[in-house]
Each structure stands twice: as structure tokens, then as C-alpha cells.
Amino acid sequence: MENNLPKHIGLIMDGNGRWAKKRGLPRKAGHTVGAQTFRKIVRACNKKGIGYLTVYAFSTENWKRPQEEIDAIIKLLRDYLKEAHKYLKENIRTRFIGDLSVFDQEIRDLIVEAEEASKDMTGLNLNIAINYGGRNEITHAVKTIVEQVQQGTLRADEIGEQIVADHLYTAGMPEVDLIIRPSGEYRLSNFLIWQSAYAEYIFMDDILWPDFSEKHLNAALEEFARRNRRFGGI
């Protein structure tokens, strides 16, 4: 399996609220346990030699949720950022993708600090998608490209797939090879819709994110290794 590892995994961390509801707990309790699972799986991917991992932490649509739940998620983000320095010894480079302008100044400053502190790490490249939406990302890229055309720094006839990819949040990274989504949902939910054009998809019915373990990650990697990826060829 080591020779057939995906270079880039996209992970939709789904099912926190349902996990809590099944136990008679508030939804925010599911997010707390889910955050612990996130740390375990990031370490597991780093240990296995995965090059890139992008996790869906908070979408542009998640603002529609109850304010108490949103506040709990933002607190978890803030707490993670405040302790990000503890993970430097693990040799993981951390970046945040999405429209970060909506967050308060403290969070934005902490994001800059975390990214700067880990920029020279050579292990796993971890992307945390917050206030992220695939359509929003593509729209942002198109606007930037249009501005360059208007300014005369780019010609319209130069625009192709690579130019678009170079203006996404994931510019310079390999395309996604594998999307994993636990919780029984069978959709991308606006996650990495450009980058995952040729990704393999693995949906898991019998597990919610807080219970996701290295065993489930291994099962997904083994399934990925069995897939015949032809990329439109024969």
C-alpha cells in the first residue's frame, strides 16, 4: 500500500452533531470530540507519509447553524491556534484556506503566526479549510484573473486550466487524489470541487467523525490502493 498512497487527501469531518445527539449531548460536545479526532488523524497521516491533507473544518454555509454551535466551533479554532506552537516538533506545515476576512483580528493574527512558524516544516502539509466554499474559491480566482486582464498583466488568450489553478487557495499543491467522508452522506458539499475533478471518493456509512480512527483511515487507503485510476484513458 505504501507505493499507492494518495499525494493529497481531502477529508470532510462530518457527523459531530449527530454523534452528540445520539448520546443526548449538546451539538458542541460533538465538535469538541471531533477536534480531538482531527488531531489524531493529522498525526496518523503525517506518520504514514501523506504529502497533503485538506480538512473541511467550517464551510461558508455553516454560518446558518445555531449561534451557540458557531460560537463553540470558533472557540475550538481559537484554542487550536493558541496551542499551534506545540505541534511544531511534529514537522507539520499548517495553512488555512478560505475567506479569512470574516474572522476577528486575534484569529487572523494567530493564523499568520501559525503559518509563519511552520512554513519550513518538511512533513505533512496540512490545509485547514475555514469559511471555505468551492464555488466561492473559484469565484475569487476568476475575479483576480479578470483584474489582471484589466490591468494588462495577463492576456485573455493566456487563460487556461493552469491559470485558474494558480489562483486557487491550493495553488502549487497537487490535485486531490482521495476524498474521504464519514457519516453516511454522499456528496462533496462544495468542498474542493475544482481540485477533486479526478479524485477517488470513499463514503463511509457506519462511522461519524468523532469515532473515526486510524483503522478507518487505513481502510480508506487500502480501498484507494485497489482502485484503477485511468484519468480518462484506457
Question: How does pLDDT run across 137-152, given as a tens digit for each residue?
Answer: 999 999 999 999 999 9
The answer on whether 189 is annotated among ligand-binding residues is yes
How many C-alpha atoms does 218 have within 13 Å on its Cβ side? 5
Alpha helices in the chain (DSSP H): 16-22, 27-48, 67-82, 105-118, 134-151, 161-165, 214-226
- Could you give the residue numbers annotated as active site? 14, 62
As given in the structure block, the three cell numbers for residue 178 are 482521495
User: Which DSSP state fits 4?
Assistant: G
Q: How do residues 27-85 score in pLDDT, each as one tens digit? A: 999 999 999 999 999 999 999 999 999 999 999 999 999 999 999 999 999 999 999 98
Confidence (pLDDT) at 86: 86
Q: Which CATH number fits domain 2-133+175-226: 3.40.50.1170, 3.40.1180.10, 3.40.50.980, 3.40.1280.10?
A: 3.40.1180.10
Task: Provide the percentage of residues in the chain whose pLDDT is more than 90.
Answer: 94
Tens-place pLDDT, residues 158-203: 999 999 999 999 999 999 999 999 999 999 999 999 999 999 999 9
Query: What is the per-residue DSSP string for 160-189?
Result: SHHHHHTTSTTTTSPPP-EEEEESS--S--
Tell me if 116 is assigned to a ligand binding site. no
Average pLDDT, the chain: 95
* Under 8 Å between Cβ of 77 and 130: yes
Please provide residue 72's backbone torsions phi and psi, each rounded to the nearest 5 degrees: -65, -40
Query: 94 pLDDT band (50/70/90 cuts)?
Result: very high
Residue 1 in this model has a pLDDT that exceeds 60 = no
What pTM was computed for the model? 0.95
Confidence of residue 3 (pLDDT cuts 50, 70, 90): low
Domain boundaries defined on the chain: 2-133+175-226
139 annotated as belonging to a binding site for a ligand: no
Whether residue 209 is annotated as binding a ligand: the answer is: no
Q: Helices (DSSP H) in 119-160: which residue ranges?
A: 134-151
Q: What is the pLDDT of residue 135?
A: 98
Say whether 15 counts as a known binding-site residue. yes
pLDDT of residue 228: 82
- Please give the pLDDT value at position 229: 75
230 or 223, which is more confident = 223
| 150, burial (CB in 10 Å: exposed 0-12, middle 13-18, buried 19+) | exposed
Cα distances from 180 to residues 58, 95, 159, 174, 177, in angstroms, run: 16, 20, 31, 17, 10
77 annotated as belonging to a binding site for a ligand: no
For residue 232, say whether it is annotated as part of any ligand binding site. no
- 59 annotated to a ligand binding site: yes
Q: Residue 83 contacts by C-beta under 8 Å, 6 or more apart in sequence?
A: none
Task: Tell whether 187 is in a known binding site.
Answer: yes
